[in-house]
A and B are shown apart, each in its own frame.
Chain A
Amino acid sequence: MSPPLDVLVVDDEAPARDELAFLLRGRPAIGRVDEAVDAEQCLQRLTRRSVDAVFVDIHMPGLDGLDLARIIARMSPRPSVVFVTAYEEHAVEAFGIEAVDFLMKPVRPERLDITVRRLQRAGASTPGPEAPFSDRVAVAHGDEILLIPADEIRVAVADGDQVFALTPEHRWPVRATLAELEERLTGHGFMRVHRSYLANLRHVASLESFFNGTYLLKLDGLRDLAIPVSRRHAAALRAAIRL
């Protein structure tokens, strides 16, 4: 269990700031929650005490959230940045500023859980040694067998009798049943979310409520793919994401 994250919420509008701070304070993975009313106050706070992450509203008078994020990007130690915006995500991504996540206003508590997970991973991200063979999955590539690191796989899908491992770029046929893969990969962050889907929860991008207690899961690197989460797997998945 990683230490709690200290965060700073920057928004010129009090209700939005209060609400986000309130939601953050309710999360066990979050430690101290500070607030700032504009970029200037945020920078003053940061010079006094460093934090793990800054939640930045994009639209603020004076120095806006994008300017603020550019300044934060040059700091050392550098806090992670999460943009909070009423705009559409891609409108912000176009500015090319590195951010751990984008949150839409109004913020959903479930969505915030995913952000917190990402912040924890961002903090812990030291590039490890190359995955040992035991962490690799054998996939068929023509007549050859390739061993790909388990963490590259976003989801394994059973399509009829054939199982495919999907990475951001490829769809590899796997010589194993989904049950066999599940047994091998459970320790690597994978979880069965549907009869035909085994998902890598280390890459969760979003989880949206669908019909009758089911959900749709999307994974980083494969965001165009909606993965069904069946009702019987939904509770375990939500618990796993919540930590």
Chain B
Amino acid sequence: MSPLGAFGLEAGLTAVAAAIVFLLLRRHSTSFETAEQRATLRTLAFATSTLRSFRRGLTAASAARVLPEIAAQAGAKAVALYTPRGLLAFHAAAGLAARHRSHAAAAAASICEAMASGRLRLVAAHAGPEPGCEIRHAAVAPISVDGSPVAALVSFHTHTPAPAELRVVSDIAELLGTRLRLRHADREREELARSELRALRAQISPHFIYNALTTIGAFIRTDPERARELVLEFADFSRRIFRRPEVEFTSLADELIVVRQYLQLEQARLGDRLRVRLNIDPEVLNIVVPTLVIQPLVENAIKHGLASAEGSGLITIRAEDEDDECVIAVTDNGAGFDPPDHDGHGALDNINRRLGHVFGDAHRLEIRSAAGQGTTIRLRVPKYRPGVHPS
């Protein structure tokens, strides 16, 4: 997932938590007696632990952990979380309200109906008369993700709840909703990154495979040892390319081994028409890079470099240590292009989107190209980035 994006959303969450603390404070007097300060701290601790509990999503277990504190904060006799499928978790302060648990399950239909409205609603706690149960009212605060209610926080009351009490319930529901939206966004971003990588793997073109096999087939006749070596390279290369899709990050060393294997196969095919120059600082070998960010640049360079046809294509690959960044550049001596012609679907755009997700837009590819001048594509990778590890 993108650490940067997550930082932004976490900041948003902190703001929501702070807003709730502010609202709760305002509900009390403005003086800061010790009791008030204690309440503030408790509220803040509550918001933090709630956010943490729901990090893995809304489950019966995570709900059971936070409901007691929600009941205390809301001053309700009993609270519950419902999903559209029914009662997820219930908590009652000891005493008469505990008997309401089975009633709460029975009332799921009417509560889910209120949840579907997407707005805070006050409904009757029972469908019919329940002798001996002192609970009368249920405040239903829907929790929405992307505009549709996925759950509802419900507080149960013996008397009509005061507006302030309703406000607390709806604020907490809002907090939970923000948490779930964040989780949703995380998963979407991770899924996006994975599907980008899958898409890129799918771009390893059938041409490349057929070309490699044709080359190997020819060497089997003329140079069996070389053919054998190329088959092993081809096997290693495809193993690395088709690794599990969740391998989002790798070391620069491993990424460059993929490049070497790719070049070995292409040089066998193209012979003297392809020359390669390298300058790799040993200091940057072990930095972490997104998987498959360099090989497509080299593939692109070969395509452009050899497009000029006459003479030979010269590809230069550099990976240099520059302060807290590693600068990677792939240069060809081809025809160049003017202006850079990418269409939003190619490998370069795919890499750009992934670099943007991981390191931010400032770290997208820098493409320098002009007709007749060749092309250089540079990327700058931060050497230390918390949260980014090879898989």
Contact = CB atoms under 8 A, between A and B. Distances in A.
Give the interface size bracket for A toward B.
10 to 19
27 contacts: A88-B243, A104-B235, A104-B236, A104-B239, A105-B235, A106-B231, A106-B232, A106-B235, A108-B236, A194-B282, A208-B257, A209-B260, A210-B256, A210-B257, A210-B260, A211-B276, A211-B280, A212-B278, A216-B257, A216-B285, A224-B251, A224-B286, A225-B286, A226-B251, A226-B253, A226-B254, A228-B285
A211 B278 contact: yes
Contacts of B236: 104, 108
B207 interface: no
B252 to A, nearest CB: 8
A224 B390 contact: yes
Interface string A196-228: 100000000000111110001000000011101
Interface string B279-303: 0101001100000000000000000
A208 B285 CA distance: 13
A110 B317 CA distance: 27
A104 to B, nearest CB: 7
Contacts of B254: 226
A216 B286 CA distance: 11
B286 A196 contact: no
Interface of A: 88, 104-106, 108, 194, 196, 208-212, 216, 224-226, 228
Give the interface size bracket for B toward A.
20 to 34
Contacts of B244: 88
Nearest to A195: B282
Given A210-B260, A216-B253, A226 B285 contact: yes
Interface of B: 231-232, 235-236, 239, 243-244, 251, 253-254, 256-257, 260, 276, 278, 280, 282, 285-286, 390
A196 B285 CA distance: 13
Interface centre among B253, B282, B286 (most CB of A within 10 A): B282
Nearest to A106: B235
Nearest to B260: A211
A243 B356 CA distance: 48
A226 B278 CA distance: 18
Given A88-B244, A104-B236, A226-B286, 12 more contacts: A104-B235, A104-B239, A105-B235, A106-B232, A196-B282, A210-B256, A210-B257, A211-B260, A211-B276, A216-B285, A224-B390, A226-B285
A109 B276 CA distance: 26
A164 to B, nearest CB: 14
